[in-house]
Structure 1
């Protein structure tokens, strides 16, 4: 089954489900993971400059796309501007480096990875200045066709409203931690108001053995009811709300399992039970203190 797509503000179509590549390093590991993903039907791939795997991803695609009879325009590539790359001239140079590392002429989506800049204290007013400068350069890259869509990651309502008050190109995507243990209602409502697509990361909690989300008794109960894995239940909960997801795995069977979430639905009651698990628990980074 093909992955459904969402139409972004930019006019581009983005698959609702993609492969996250955080912590996937080493060319051989990257190659095998992308090969398994392409074989399973993935066409969207998410990376970032701070993941330090862009070069290996670019090398792998040069071999794998022809193998699967695909061309560059058949896949959707996202990368991100790192906190140390924020600001005037830095942002445009960082984008060019990502394009060089990925060995492609354009990115489908480029995000500001974090509302704050590297080495500044959370309350420093320079964060506002630097992310504003970064956005201006991203808008120019968008106009030049170097990126098809631009967006933000880890932005909270105050950061989003600040950007919307000054931008000439609205963000197409907000990527943020979002799952049944962390339902960011205000963020979701703001995105819906401004037609910004909400894309979740860490949909399955953490990769540690102490993964309280995927082992949540209610998640496991619903998993048994629908005869699907807990991971599939969590991913289905998101995509059934038109929230994008980026599950990460290097295990071919898990990669195939994670994309198979469009062949079943959860009932309204099951969706409500999962939404009732909110604990406001961050399993990754909390941008709350960034001014």
Structure 2
């Protein structure tokens, strides 16, 4: 019997999305995917994040079809996210999104994101990038209207990208997914999302593991009798930010789910937030026009 599902929040589309999701970046081995998803479902994960570039959509869909009945769940009980590859930005977006649907072997995707504001093969300064983004978004809007993409959003967009999208879109993005942790608080970007009613989701909450070694994080973790990873994830969700911890280790997957039964004090939240220094451990989209 599965444990109760993690809490969720309401998107601007009127549907609920779990606050906690399992990131599947670099998860490709079928046995690893099966093991990770089984552990995740067992401890309350109901959201799974993939992307065309991860190369695991087909295996993710296959494993879920096998595991959901075992856990007394149906397709409607889980929330699936995938993303448009930068190589398909622009005129290839419609076909690429439909291919993701086919790979997942599902009738719909709960949330589909433009993975990157640029286009593979073009310079970050290439003036075709904005037009390609707009063309991609129009394709996603069409598939959203058909019910094939229940919600649409973006990833790695800056404040400028977000404002340009909001000025031109017919359907506003439901969510923005970006790198977010105490050393990269993205304060202005979060304000833009709040202004437009766009959900804010973090990836790389642990800074690729580097932040779990930070002395302040370790000190707060000892004080709370929690792991550094749990403290970093709790810091985000306590601010209303969704998280996507990625792991293939069943024990870590279960530990990462234990973030809803404790709170950080205001002083500990402030100490963690004070680590902000604009440090990025992943890609920087700021130069993409």
TM-score range normalised by the length of the shorter chain = over 0.9
Q: Is 1:113 aligned with 2:153?
A: no
Q: Is 1:224 aligned with 2:222?
A: yes
- How far apart are the structure 1 equivalents of 2:71 and 2:261? 23
- How far apart are the structure 1 equivalents of 2:155 and 2:225? 33
Query: What secondary structure, in the 3-state scheme, does the structure 2 residue paired with 1:23 have?
Result: coil
Aligned-residue offset at 1:254: 0.5
Partner of 1:42 in structure 2? Answer: 45
Query: What secondary structure, in the 3-state scheme, does the structure 2 residue paired with 1:116 have?
Result: coil
Query: What secondary structure, in the 3-state scheme, does the structure 1 residue paired with 2:168 have?
Result: coil
- How far apart are the structure 1 equivalents of 2:148 and 2:205? 29
Stretches of structure 1 that go unaligned for 5 or more consecutive residues are: none
Q: Which of structure 1's runs of 4+ aligned residues deviate more than 3 A?
A: none
Query: What secondary structure, in the 3-state scheme, does the structure 2 residue paired with 1:110 have?
Result: strand
Query: What secondary structure, in the 3-state scheme, does the structure 2 residue paired with 1:182 have?
Result: coil
Q: Is 1:247 aligned with 2:256?
A: no
> Normalising to structure 2: TM-score of the pair?
0.98
The 5-angstrom pairing of residues 122-161 of structure 1 reads: 122-161=124-163
Aligned-residue offset at 1:32: 1.0
Question: Cα deviation per residue 1:145-193 (whole Å; 9 max; x = unaligned)?
Answer: 0011000000000000010010010000000000001111110000011
- How far apart are the structure 2 equivalents of 1:272 and 1:194? 26
Stretches of structure 2 that go unaligned for 5 or more consecutive residues are: none
Provide the aligned C-alpha RMSD in A.
0.7
Aligned-residue offset at 1:40: 1.2
Partner of 1:268 in structure 2? Answer: 266
Query: What secondary structure, in the 3-state scheme, does the structure 1 residue paired with 2:39 have?
Result: helix
Aligned-residue offset at 1:2: 3.4
Q: Is 1:16 aligned with 2:19?
A: yes
Q: Is 1:170 aligned with 2:168?
A: no
Aligned-residue offset at 1:265: 0.1
> Normalising to structure 1: TM-score of the pair?
0.97
Question: Cα deviation per residue 1:198-232 (whole Å; 9 max; x = unaligned)?
Answer: 0000001115xxx2x11110000000010000000
Q: Say if 1:2 and 1:63 are closer, same or farther in 2 by CA, change over 3 A.
A: closer
Query: What secondary structure, in the 3-state scheme, does the structure 2 residue paired with 1:155 have?
Result: coil
Q: Is 1:29 aligned with 2:32?
A: yes
Query: What secondary structure, in the 3-state scheme, does the structure 1 residue paired with 2:108 have?
Result: coil
- How far apart are the structure 2 equivalents of 1:12 and 1:125? 35
- How far apart are the structure 2 equivalents of 1:60 and 1:4? 23
- How far apart are the structure 1 equivalents of 2:286 and 2:79? 30
Partner of 1:75 in structure 2? Answer: 78
Partner of 1:197 in structure 2? Answer: 199
Aligned-residue offset at 1:45: 0.2
